[in-house]
Structure 1
Amino acid sequence: MNLDENGVWLGRVWDAKAHGPIVVTIRDGYFVDITTKAAPLVRDICEMPHPAAYVSSIEGIAVGTVASIERAAVGDYSQTHILAPCDLQAIKACGVTFANSMVERVIEEQAAGDPQKANAIRDNIGALIGDNLKNVKAGSKDAEQIKAALIKEGLWSQYLEVGIGPDAEVFSKAQTLSAVGHGAEVGLHPISDWNNPEPEVVLTVSSKGKIVGATLGNDVNLRDVEGRSALLLSKAKDNNASCSIGPMIRLFDADFGMDDVGAAELDMTVTGTQDGFVMHGTSSMTEISRAPSDLVQQVIGRHHQYPDGFMLFLGTLFAPTQDRDVPGEGFTHKLGDEVKISSPKLGELCNTVQLSTHCPEWRFGISHLMRNLAQRDLL
């Protein structure tokens, strides 16, 4: 997981002895159980006035070394293993928040999900749109002028509307408790032939709209499905194991905050176990077109409340165009691909690509969690 030893870390582990999830932090190379009756959930700690101070001071019990638990089989309930670090939070995501990825969404739409058409469309409109939009502030007068010019040229798109218009694209990425964590398989819907990982920063936000921490995420993307129609977004985004978050939430404190989020550099490597293919990618938060705090305000407010807080994917700069098999068809996943997303202050999130229909089924929902906590006398 490569976690910065100066960070205050908050996460979850499946405890084989408790037959349920526990709340953990890391101390001296050990996962330490900090689950209490007063705060049995990650959600409860994130609702506190000073989550980092609480996690730093609360006593706990070591449950195993980070190295040993990291090696455990994820999804095997007989073994203590790592879970996604969120529990009752809603899982939301922002799309088209970077100019380069915005161009690729337009290309997907124009290609109607056909990767063979993408290169020609990219040559025709990609450079024009990218050059004009790279430094444009979403919702500004300059953005309105560019919008008018693009409409005149017949190049307007719903993706450009949310990319440079006043309203951001925010969607529900996954169901509460359905996200997988570090070391897990990530799932592709079997109908997809054109897909890719999306390395992102994920904010942890309380019910009051306060940003209390950040982590990494893989917003697995089915380019062909969403490209056929934006109305297929839920089918493209919300599938079994299609959302990965982790490895742990780094809580905000004197050494880490929103300035660090805004300066974060994400590196990603995809390694094919079938063909030895290697792809490197990056995503720099310095190039985001909307302030993360503005994105949070668009999610929560008088118009919409989240009593248990939410996790918010901030979008990605990464849009793969490197050919893998057929010239002109770009990149798509193969089963067994190993995806590693890392950032110096947020650690490393690693997953293996599989079909959603072959990943472990999601069977531990909110009702199961509540019953488990009650049986352990934590409610």
Structure 2
Amino acid sequence: MDLLPHDLDQALLVGRVWRSSPHQGPALVVIRQGEVLDISASCNCMADLLDRDDAASFSASVSGESLGSVETLLDNSLTDPQRGPYLLAPCDVQAIKACGVTFAVSLLERVIEEQAGGDPGRAGELRAELNEVIGQDLSRIAPGSTDAMALKRALQERGAWSQYMEVGLGPDAEVFTKAQPLSAVGFGAAVGLHPASQWNNPEPEIVLAVDAYGHAKGATLGNDVNLRDIEGRSALLLGKAKDNNASCAIGPFIRLFDERFTLDAIREAQVSMHIEGADDGFVLDGTSDMREISRDPLDLVEQTIGAHHQYPDGFMLFLGTMFSPIEDRDGRGQGFTHHLGDTVTITTPTLGTLINRVDRSDRLPPWTFGIRQWQAHLSRRQGA
């Protein structure tokens, strides 16, 4: 499996690792010619690096302490973090935001969740009913357009309008807070499901790294773990459905935009996902084609930051997914849900691969390294 970009020798990769010595805590790294270089002495944090006008050229030339090969780092992260440095999520103090309902397929599945009230057994019947009512390809309708507003009126008259259709077809995108700064987990770590959830799935997505000025400076992969039953009971439970211990995975690295890798590569990307069950041999594959997204990535950035809202530390922005698995796993008509121990692999050739296993949020190590601990770590390192 290719864990790194297919054009690694041309990719500007930056990330974060946890070091046990000489100063236990996170370190900023770049990958150069297969070597991991700790550049913390030259740049305090990822937010600072991304805010630089010369972020790409700086990352390509800055010197740093060698931490060994990137292959060893990936292996440590997957198998035994105690052996040496291991990968963290590549963001630090940035806000972590996410966009919902940006693909037609995910729009229909959100409506199904809502109308099913969190009951997966009703999903198949509702899916057939909705397809009959809508009767057209929603991916061909631009959000906020005249056609979208005409469809809205028609669906309202038939009593089939939904708050999810409002954000999927209306002028305003859904942008929500997925997780707190410093709370996301990285490549190789476990992702968590709230113990109350019985219907859930991964959401493989591309994540933009946006600086404090609203400029998209790079991209990475993410898993926006989704609890379908909890959000389906009420959209007001979105916070409980989305933001739990270890429920957000990002990585393995941020690839910085340059003349070889631009936003157009994201617009054309295909994101593949492979789920493999540990207890039942279940295997599921799916693909999200970014060419089918209903809103351009820059439109989503502009709806997140501007005169109406500032992010002085920048932000990470999940762009949404078209992957909503409906294959039956535990019984006819029950659809897909995770089993503990599942391995989720998300990949796209230009960004590499993000691998995480699935466990319960209350059984995983609690999140304890917050802003105050990070500040104390910086103070110790700078005072050494």
Per mean C-alpha deviation after superposition, the further-off stretch among 41-50 and 61-70 is 61-70
The 5-angstrom pairing of residues 90-105 of structure 1 reads 90-105=95-110
Matched, 1:61 2:52: no
User: Which ranges in structure 2 are unaligned for 5 or more consecutive residues?
Assistant: none
The 5-angstrom pairing of residues 216-227 of structure 1 reads 216-227=221-232
Q: Is the 8 A contact 1:132 1:146 kept in 2?
A: no
2:35 match = 30
Q: Which residue, out of 88, 93, 96, partners 1:88? A: 93
2:4 match = 2
| CA distance 1:73–1:251, shift in 2 (3 Å) | closer
> CA shift at 1:275, angstroms?
0.5
Distance 2:33 2:383 in 1: 27
Q: Is the 8 A contact 1:107 1:126 kept in 2?
A: no
Alignment length (residue pairs): 378
User: Which ranges in structure 1 are unaligned for 5 or more consecutive residues?
Assistant: none
SS for the counterpart of 1:232 is helix
Q: Which residue, out of 13, 28, 37, partners 2:17? A: 13
2:184 match = 179
Q: Is the 8 A contact 1:196 1:220 kept in 2?
A: yes
TM-superposition CA deviations, 1:31-73 (whole Å, max 9, x none): 1111125x21011110000211110011112112222222225
After TM superposition, the score normalised by the length of structure 1 is 0.97
> CA shift at 1:131, angstroms?
2.2
Distance 2:137 2:85 in 1: 51
Matched, 1:285 2:285: no
**Counterpart AA for 2:69:** T
Distance 1:93 1:297 in 2: 13
1:330 match = 335
| CA distance 1:148–1:131, shift in 2 (3 Å) | same
1:137 match = 142
The 5-angstrom pairing of residues 93-242 of structure 1 reads 93-126=98-131, 128-129=133-134, 131-242=136-247
Distance 2:232 2:254 in 1: 32
> CA shift at 1:76, angstroms?
5.5
SS for the counterpart of 1:234 is helix
Q: Is the 8 A contact 1:137 1:143 kept in 2?
A: yes
Q: Is the 8 A contact 2:77 2:187 kept in 1?
A: no
TM-superposition CA deviations, 1:321-366 (whole Å, max 9, x none): 1111111111000000000000000100000000001111111001
Distance 1:247 1:72 in 2: 13
Distance 2:4 2:52 in 1: 27
| CA distance 1:320–1:278, shift in 2 (3 Å) | same
Q: Is the 8 A contact 1:36 1:378 kept in 2?
A: no
